[in-house]
């Protein structure tokens, strides 16, 4: 059975994110510019479709773009929090909104995240289920008759569809639909086209973003025809038209042939179109590509068996920075600064990913691009704390400096043109030792927010909602007790719980604290209630330290009663300085780190 595959491609995604952030930009020419360094404007990363008719293109300088389009709106990619580089987190967040729609549309559809703005969908099972339902209910004839109404932005790729003519679009599509009633293959593609129209509309309703799509029998053809009618359109390619489409398709336009392989094919065979591969004599093809000639002929015929792999998250998380030409890193101090900044950016993204996707990376690969080569190394990681990661990465990178002066202010040789850090090999779950206090605080804040903003029905039967009577007012001073407010929707009365931290009554006068309310950890006092809510592994560490402190205090009291006497130690006593160097960080330092990250 032929598969049914679709590609969803967001239309100029970065520009759309900026237009949604600033609605006045909708319908206006917009470019998104890369992060600039040292006062030099970055290159153009994305060009909205409104700006393209003016001749504005990616890679063009902003000055040249404004000459071509004076009314051009320029948006800049945000700067990273820890490193002087681009921070594309807001585009990743917008992408997550899109994939949330895709993953929740129907469980029978397999979704593969191809990039931040592209997704492959395997609709084979979904379309077969729908076709079985139509046959069971004897509704195939009705579906075929009304299908054209559900395909307002669909083109049929038949080799003549590139003529921008809506009349031809409807004619070609109607002819295909009328011939589909007796063809299972055509019906499956038709059902898929209707489903993709609905998916694209749902994406726009939920996110305000527009997208295009391609529908075919494999990933290669779905991606190829997706670009035929952009933006805000989709293209359907039946199997019988595949060879005709590929016959006139440039080799570099086919997925996987846009780089070295495509260039080599064109140079060695002196051809430029995919159809010419089939016209090339087989012995010449074997001579030039002895290990790939069968693969090339299969692709030229439209055959591709690459599966759609269900992948919702990225297989790696990476940060990198280029230092071209005169911007190359040449000192240890500058190298340390960039490694530290990139490490903090990576740690931030890893912590976010860990909380959202409940997975943990095992490996970290650092890679340097220098004038003498590309050294890299894989490190095992077991902690996302930035300071620990930095120490581990810097220890591994330092030996790459070939300079004779290894001091902190010395030169770095050879000069570095790129630094890349990539976390890979993710495993499901969050190890207990890898749970950070910051993550624990985030969970507590989220649960509190949910409680504070919840609206509960008093009669909904849930056992997890407990209503408590407000405490009676004290006789000494009248305090207005806060009662749950009510809200009526239809015939149902809802109780709104107020979980606010703020008291309506004035705060009571300060009272002297006691050991019952506070405990001492490492010389610092913390609330006993906060201590009991710490994660078990952290609380266990502090309980151990508290026990050691209590033992030291007991020994001090015994020594004091003896008048300072006591049995002398046989070995040397460590100095106070050495003891202080091994003193663990106080609890407050973790909370301070969390505060700065917010």
Residue 495, token pair as written in the block: 């109780």
pLDDT of residue 229: 92
- The C-alpha angle 505, 506, 507, rounded to 5 degrees, equals 115
Cis peptide before 416 (omega within 30 of 0): no
Q: Report CA-CA distances (Å) from 413 to 343, 398, 403.
A: 21, 11, 5
Considering only CA atoms, which of 255, 260, 300 is closest in space to residue 280? 300
Does domain 13-80 fall under CATH 3.40.1170.60? My reply is yes
Q: Under DSSP, is residue 559 helix (H, G, I), strand (E, B) or coil?
A: helix
Considering only CA atoms, which of 412, 345, 409 is closest in space to residue 375? 412
Q: Are 219 and 304 in contact (CB under 8 A)?
A: yes
Considering only CA atoms, which of 402, 320, 337 is closest in space to residue 85? 320
Distance between CA atoms of residues 219 and 229, nearest Å: 17
CATH code, residues 253-300: 1.10.150
Strands of 73-76's sheet in order across: 44-47, 30-33, 73-76
What would the pLDDT profile of 422-440 be if each residue is shown by its tens digit?
999 999 888 765 555 455 5
**Percent of the chain's residues with pLDDT above 90:** 55
**Other CB atoms within 10 A of residue 382 CB:** 12
Residue 72, token pair as written in the block: 């051009």
So what's the architecture of 317-431 in CATH? 2-Layer Sandwich (3.30)
Q: Are 156 and 244 in contact (CB under 8 A)?
A: no
Distance between CA atoms of residues 189 and 213, nearest Å: 13
Domain ranges of the chain: 13-80, 253-300, 317-431, 435-465+483-500, 518-561+578-597
Q: 3-state SS string over 43-110?
A: CEEEECCCCHHHCCCCCCCHHHHHHHCCCCEEEECCECCCCCCECCHHHHHHHHHHHHHHHHHCCCCE
Q: Report CA-CA distances (Å) from 107 to 83, 104, 110, 242, 310.
A: 40, 7, 8, 29, 11
What would the pLDDT profile of 56-67 be if each residue is shown by its tens digit?
999 888 999 999
Distance between CA atoms of residues 593 and 126, nearest Å: 48
Instruction: Give me the residues of the chain with pLDDT under 50, please.
Output: 437, 456-471, 474-516, 565-566, 568-598
Residue 343, token pair as written in the block: 């490490």
Q: Is 564 left (phi over 0), alpha (psi -120 to 50) or beta?
A: left
pTM for the full model?
0.64
Report long-range pairs for 322-329 (Cβ below 8 Å, ≥24 apart): 322/417, 322/418, 323/415, 323/416, 323/417, 323/418, 323/419, 324/417, 327/37, 327/38, 328/371, 328/415, 328/416, 328/417, 329/412, 329/415, 329/416, 329/419
Q: Under DSSP, is residue 571 helix (H, G, I), strand (E, B) or coil?
A: coil
């Amino acid at each position: 059975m032929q598969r049914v595959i679709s590609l969803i491609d967001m239309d100029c995604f970065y520009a759309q994110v900026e237009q949604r952030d600033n609605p006045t930009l909708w319908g206006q020419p917009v470019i998104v510019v890369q992060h600039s360094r040292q006062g030099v404007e970055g290159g153009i990363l994305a060009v909205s479709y409104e700006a393209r008719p003016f001749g504005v293109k990616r890679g063009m300088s902003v000055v040249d773009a404004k000459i071509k389009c004076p009314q051009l709106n320029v948006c800049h990619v945000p700067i990273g929090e820890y490193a002087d580089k681009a921070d594309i987190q807001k585009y990743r967040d917008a992408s997550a909104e899109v994939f949330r729609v895709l993953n929740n549309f129907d469980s029978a559809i397999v979704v593969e995240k191809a990039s931040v703005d592209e997704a492959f969908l395997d609709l084979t099972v979904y379309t077969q289920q729908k076709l079985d339902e139509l046959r069971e209910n004897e509704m195939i004839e009705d579906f075929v008759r009304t299908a054209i109404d559900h395909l307002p932005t669909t083109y049929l790729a038949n080799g003549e569809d590139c003529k921008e003519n809506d009349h031809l679009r409807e004619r070609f599509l109607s002819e295909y639909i009328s011939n589909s009633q007796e063809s299972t293959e055509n019906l499956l593609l038709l059902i898929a086209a209707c489903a993709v129209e609905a998916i694209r509309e749902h994406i726009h309703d939920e996110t305000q973003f527009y997208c295009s799509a391609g529908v075919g029998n494999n990933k290669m053809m779905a991606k190829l025809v997706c670009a035929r009618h952009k933006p805000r359109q989709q293209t359907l390619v039946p199997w019988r038209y595949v060879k005709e489409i590929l016959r006139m398709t440039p080799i570099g336009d086919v997925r996987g042939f846009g780089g070295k392989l495509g260039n080599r094919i064109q140079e060695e065979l002196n051809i430029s179109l995919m159809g010419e591969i089939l016209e090339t004599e087989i012995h010449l093809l074997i001579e030039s590509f002895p290990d790939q000639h069968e693969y090339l002929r299969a692709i030229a015929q439209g055959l591709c068996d690459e599966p759609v792999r269900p992948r919702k998250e990225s297989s790696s998380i990476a940060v990198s920075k280029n230092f071209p030409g005169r911007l190359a890193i040449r000192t240890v101090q500058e190298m340390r600064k960039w490694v530290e900044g990139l490490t903090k950016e990576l740690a931030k993204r890893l912590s976010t990913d860990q909380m959202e996707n409940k997975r943990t990376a095992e490996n970290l690969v650092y890679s340097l691009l220098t004038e003498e080569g590309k050294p890299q190394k894989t490190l095992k990681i077991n902690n996302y704390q930035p300071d620990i990661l930095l120490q581990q990465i810097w220890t591994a990178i330092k030996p790459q400096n070939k300079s004779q002066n290894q001091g902190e202010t010395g030169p770095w040789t050879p000069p570095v043109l790129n630094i890349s850090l990539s976390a890979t090999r993710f495993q499901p779950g969050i190890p207990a030792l890898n749970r950070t206090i910051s993550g624990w605080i985030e969970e507590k804040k989220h649960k509190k927010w949910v409680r504070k903003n919840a609206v509960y029905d008093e009669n909904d039967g849930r056992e997890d909602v407990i209503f408590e009577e407000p405490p009676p007012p004290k006789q000494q001073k009248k305090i207005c007790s806060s009662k749950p407010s009510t809200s009526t929707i239809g015939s149902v009365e809802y109780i709104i719980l107020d979980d606010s931290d703020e008291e309506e009554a004035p705060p009571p006068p300060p009272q002297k604290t006691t050991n019952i309310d506070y405990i001492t950890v490492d010389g610092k006092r913390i609330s006993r209630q906060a201590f009991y809510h710490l994660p078990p592994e952290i609380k266990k560490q502090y309980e151990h330290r508290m026990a050691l402190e209590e033992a030291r205090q007991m020994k001090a009291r015994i020594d004091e009663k003896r008048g300072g006497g006591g049995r002398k130690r046989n070995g040397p006593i460590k100095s106070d300085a050495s003891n202080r160097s091994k003193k663990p960080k106080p609890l407050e330092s973790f909370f301070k780190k969390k505060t700065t990250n917010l």
